């Protein structure tokens, strides 16, 4: 588990971007949750950031280079894949594939 102290200096997924450009937008926000849509063309990533516990869904997949506490690895992410995290996490990603990838991130508040 990543402590809150280590994430205090990192942006959340909406604040984080890539080379000064935003990659996520708010699709919906209520008092209870926020839904983000994050789009990564080839060679575009997401600077190191943290996530609160969340649910994610891949609308369009690609191959990503992921750097986190486990190290750096390339992962093929297919459309239709979903995941959830119950703890705070942090990572940086880069789309090293040849297609644009799009994700939904649903975060409870």
- How do the domains of the chain map onto residue ranges? 4-108
The reported pLDDT for the residue numbered 8 is 64
The reported pLDDT for the residue numbered 2 is 43
78-84 contacts: CB < 8 A, separation 24 or more? Answer: 81/57, 82/55, 82/56, 82/57, 82/58, 83/55, 83/56, 84/53, 84/54, 84/55, 84/56
pLDDT tens across the length of the chain (109 residues): 444 445 568 999 999 999 999 999 999 999 999 999 999 999 999 999 999 999 999 999 999 999 999 999 999 999 999 999 999 999 999 999 999 999 999 999 8
Residue reference for tokens 């703890």: 87
Residue 108, C-beta contacts closer than 8 angstroms, at least 6 positions apart: 32, 33, 52, 53, 54
The reported pLDDT for the residue numbered 4 is 45
The reported pLDDT for the residue numbered 7 is 55
Superfamily of domain 4-108, CATH level 4: Jelly Rolls (2.60.120.10)
């Amino acid at each position: 588990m990543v402590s809150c102290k280590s994430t205090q200096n990192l942006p959340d997924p909406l604040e984080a971007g890539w080379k000064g450009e935003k990659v996520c937008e708010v699709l919906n926000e209520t008092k209870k949750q926020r839904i983000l849509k994050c789009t990564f063309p080839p060679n575009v990533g997401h600077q190191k950031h943290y996530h609160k516990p969340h649910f994610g869904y891949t609308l369009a997949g690609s191959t990503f280079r992921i750097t986190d506490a486990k190290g750096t690895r390339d992962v093929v992410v297919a459309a239709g894949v979903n995941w959830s995290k119950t703890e705070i996490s942090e990572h940086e990603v880069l789309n090293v594939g040849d297609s644009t990838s799009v994700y939904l991130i649903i975060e409870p508040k």
